[in-house]
Structure formats: structure tokens, C-alpha cells
Amino acid sequence: MTKKQKKTLKRIIIAAVLTAVLALLFHFAELPWFVQLVLWLVPYLVIGHDVLRKAFMGIKSGEVFDENFLMAVATVGAMGCGEYAEGVAVMLFYQIGELFQSYAVGKSRASISALMDIRPDSANLEAEDGTVSVVDPDDVPIGSTIVVKPGEKIPLDGVVLSGESTLNTAALTGESRPRTVRPGDEVISGCVNDDSVLRVRTTKIYGESTVAKILDLVENSSLKKARAENFITKFAHYYTPAVCIGALVLAILPPLVLGGGWLTWISRALTFLVISCPCALVISIPLSFFGGIGGASRCGILIKGGNYLEALANTSIAVFDKTGTLTKGVFAVSQVSPANGFTEKELLEQAALAESFSSHPISKSLREACGELDARRATDAQEIAGHGVRTMVDGHVVLAGNARMMDDSKITYTKNTGTGTVVYVARDGQFLGSVLIADEVKEHSKQAIAALKAQGVRTIMLTGDSEAVASEISGQLGLDEYHAQLLPADKVNRVEELLAAKGKNDILTFAGDGINDAPVLMRADVGIAMGAMGSDAAIEAADVVLMDDDPAKISLAMKISRKCMHIVYQNIVFALAVKAIFLLLGAFGIANMWWAVFADVGVMILAVLNAMRMLIVEKN
């Protein structure tokens, strides 16, 4: 509880005790009205002085019609009509409601405080003479060397110069997935260094670093309001003046028409004002969206505004890029098929040595699968465009390439029909076997597609890969449809076709890696960037940023958004229904000031309690 909240609670307790004492006193003793008024003003001013001050300041600045004005007029009017206890009680319960909503907002803000903790406090800047000084991250230029000790946050993006350590990415991804880094590896700000000292060369200034962009994204998310939030803002803008005019008419017109009874109708008008206060909606609706954005951020899902959170709830079509989104985007050896008389180890070794001079991802995957290699065994490497490589290995001619290379060299080989890239290997004209290299499917991709289909979402994959690979991946994951061999422009055209064909209220989301798919991310109703750690393009182009590359988070984001919208609609219907009923009862004199307290403060507390459910996020 904050200092301000504790102060308010203290005032509430004092006012409540004084109210109880005065109620007992006047139950047993008859005192003149002016004595009662003076005594009741003590608890009234203790609990309501700040509301009166805010109402006065609002009138002075031209912002007349707000809840402070309504409460001030209603309670001052009640005191003026001799309803002292009711006037104090209304102000007391109003302050209890305000304290409650203040606590709820604090809890909601705390839900993203863990994310805010990624902000680095300082950086250890290493000078040319080796001395280290503690400076503000904003003061570290690009190309500087910083020292990150165990337990410290990495303050700026950079490249590891020396040291080997494990990084904890929980603050960014929502889950603790240790990542080992060595010299030459890129590191991003916000991660925590777990094991040993790292020396890092900075590649960005703090204002352009990953952590700064994430913090800016979250802090400004409240600026992009959902339609429901804008509705409530506009509603309150017209609603509050309307009920004030209605209360004035209720206080004046009936006595003029019916004759007399001024005090009765003024009392009804004051009750009408208390009931009409729109606190429940004005507080609970923004709180629901803020809680939803905060809850999602704790799971490593950054949603750029309430409008996107609302749109996710209406998603009917989910379109995916393949590489880097549903697959890892990293080539790996998936099958080794040696010819008769040769072993897998021998085949893989010859292929890796033949490819040892190439920087191609496929060549890299062969070397990684083979392990330790003595590159000196390979000489005279010659790359044959569109075919493969010809290399001297231990004095033998080794060919590693596609089927065309085998055909052109008149080598008899066994065709590999697996899905992926096939590397055929031959030595001195003799076929050694084939190696299948494929892009691996992410471990949660199938689960992600199944979860989306369970929510009634149509799933589509767009890829520039071959028909065979696309068909294999689609069947493996259970996608509704796929489109293969697409250029970036073709992907945009496909999304345009889907947008034109969907229903008016349907939402199309596109999930991509945020680097090559920026045009499609921006064209979709909601763009979701996958694998956003370190990707500037992802953070800037997408509407939703996933801080790891887990596609299952898309389904979770939609669950959070749908839960949020259910709560928002529940609060709107409940608050307006109760207000309408009690306004009618108040106008006809059936509901008194005590009923009005429930219609205002009671409904507000119930609505805020409902909104606080957004703080509970089930990750499964």
C-alpha cells in the first residue's frame, strides 16, 4: 500500500469512528439542528475535503462535470437538507470505493513492474587503460566496451568480446530459458548475466537498444485505446452533464407543476446524482485493458495498445510465415543415408570436409553435425554454381552436391525422397550416400495450431519454400491450408485476398519473423512478430511482439484478449442496467440515499473486482 493510500485509509477509519459515535449520540440525545450540523461537519470534512477541493478546482478550470462535482453537490445538498448522516455516509463510502480502485490500479501496475525492472540502472564502462567506471547507460557511446558482472542486467545491446556465461531471459520472454553466450555472440539489453564476467562491445546507444524500445512500447500502450474505452470516454462526456440537468429538472419541475414539496424533490434529485455517478465504467473499463496488457507482458507478450487487445478477441483467420515462425529457421541434419559398405560417420565426415570452405547455412549444418574437423585435410575447394562443391580430401576427389552434380559426373546414386535439401556425396567417382538437411519444426508449433483451431480460428501458412516442404510441414502441423513458392510480394497479395474475403467484423492476424515480413505485418489487421529478441524490425512493424519465438503464445494472447473483452462487456451491461433501474427508483422516491450508495460505490467495487480478474493469467 502506498503512502497516499495509507493516508486515505487513516482518514476513512477516523471518519467512520466519528460517524458511529455521532450516530449513537444523536440516537440518545436531542440537540439543536445547528449543533448537529457543526458536529457532522467534522467527519464530513475529514473524509471529503479533497473531493470538495477537486470539485472546486474543476469548476475553476472549466472541467465541471466529473465524479467529484457530482459527489460534492449531492453530499453538500444532503447536508443542507438536514440529512447529515446520509451526506457523511455517501462521502465515506465513496472514499472507500476510491481507495479500493486505487489499490486495484496499483496491483495492475505491479503486474508489469517485473518488465519495468529490465531497465538498467547503470553500466560499467571500461576505459582504454583497463579501468572501469560506473556511468549512466545513456552516456555510453557505440563501440564502447562495458563489463557485465554476474547478477547484473546487460544495459546495452552488443557483442561479447570475452567471457562465457549463461543469460537469464525471463524478464523479456516471461519464462526462464537460459542462453549460453560466448565471444562473438550478440547479446541484448534486459537479460541478466548469471555465471561469469562478460566484456561486451556496444552496438547501439541506450535510446535505440532493445530494452529502451520495449519500455517505450509498454509505457505508451495506454495511448492506443480500444473502441470500448473510447465509447466510455465519449459516453461519460455527454452522460454526466445530462444527468446533472436531469437532476436539476427533477428538483424544480415537479414542485412547480404539483405545487410544494420542494425538500422532497430536492432530496430525490440529490439521490439521483449519487446514483448517476459513472465511476464503475470510467474506472473498471480502462483497468480491464490495462490489466490485460500487463498480464500479457508478464508472459512475454507485448501488446501495443487496447485497440490491438480488443482486435485479437475477434480473430478468425491466423496466417503464418513458415521459416522462423513455425520452424526454427535453422538448418540441421535430419537423416544420414550411407551407401553399402560405408558408415554414417564416414559419410558425414567426407561431406563436412568437402563443405568446410563454404559459408552456406547447409555447409554449416554439416560441420556442426560432424563435430571436430581438421580442415587441413581439405584443399582445392571449388564451388560449382547450382550443383555443389568439388574438394580434395586426403588426396581424393570428393563431390558434395545435388542430383544434377551426380548426373553430370556420371555417378550412379540412390535417390533420397525425403523432404528437405539432399546433399549427395561421392569420392573418386564412387557414391558414398546422401545427407538430408531440413529446417526443424518448433516444438510448440503443432500445439499452437491445435489451440487456435480449438478457438475456431482458420490457420493458413504462407512460404517461399517448395511445394513438397510446405505440404510436409502443413500435414505435420495440421494447418487448414498452405500456399508455397511465394515471393514477398506474393505473400502481400495473398493477405490482401484474405482480407477482401473475410467478414466485416472478422480479424486477420499475421505472424512473421518481423524482418522479411514487415510489409505483411503492417498490412494485416494485427501483425504479430515472432522471435523478436533483438529484432528492431519486429518491434517497429508489429502490433503484438512476442519476446521469444514460441508460436503457442499467439493462442495465449487471444485467450487473454477474449477474457478481457468478456469482462469489459460484463461491466458495461451490469453497471448500466443497475444505474438505469436505480435512477428510475430514485426519481420516483423509492430509492433513498443509502440505496444510492450501493448503486454507485457498490457497483464500482463489484466492477473493479471483476476487472481485477485480468491480473490472473493462466499460461496454459
> Catalytic positions, please?
321
Q: Are 354 and 423 in contact (CB under 8 A)?
A: no
Q: Which of 294, 252, 257 is nearest to 112 (CA)?
A: 294
Alpha-carbon gap, residue 475 to 446, rounded angstroms? 10
449 HSE (CA, 13 A, CB side) = 25
Q: Which residues of 325-355 are buried (b: 16+ CB within 10 A; e: fewer)?
A: bbbbbebbbbebebbeebeeeebbbbbbbbb
Q: DSSP state, 204?
A: S
Q: DSSP state, 609?
A: H
Q: Please enumerate in sequence order all residues whose Cβ is within 8 A of that of 108, keeping only pairs 6 or more positions apart, or say none.
A: 287, 290, 291, 294, 612, 614, 615
Alpha-carbon gap, residue 31 to 123, rounded angstroms? 70
157 HSE (CA, 13 A, CB side) = 18
Beta-carbon count within 10 A of 297 CB: 25
In angstroms, what CA-CA distances link 286 with 110, 197, 221, 611?
Answer: 16, 44, 12, 9
At residue 81's C-alpha, the angle toward residues 76 and 82, to 5°, is 100
At residue 194's C-alpha, the angle toward residues 132 and 328, to 5°, is 115
Alpha-carbon gap, residue 56 to 39, rounded angstroms? 23
Alpha-carbon gap, residue 421 to 248, rounded angstroms? 80
Q: Please enumerate in sequence order all residues whose Cβ is within 8 A of that of 2, keeping only pairs 6 or more positions apart, or say none.
A: 102, 106
Cα dihedral 458, 464, 466, 467, rounded to 10, equals 30
3-class secondary-structure state, position 523: helix
Span between the terminal Cα atoms of the chain, in Å: 31
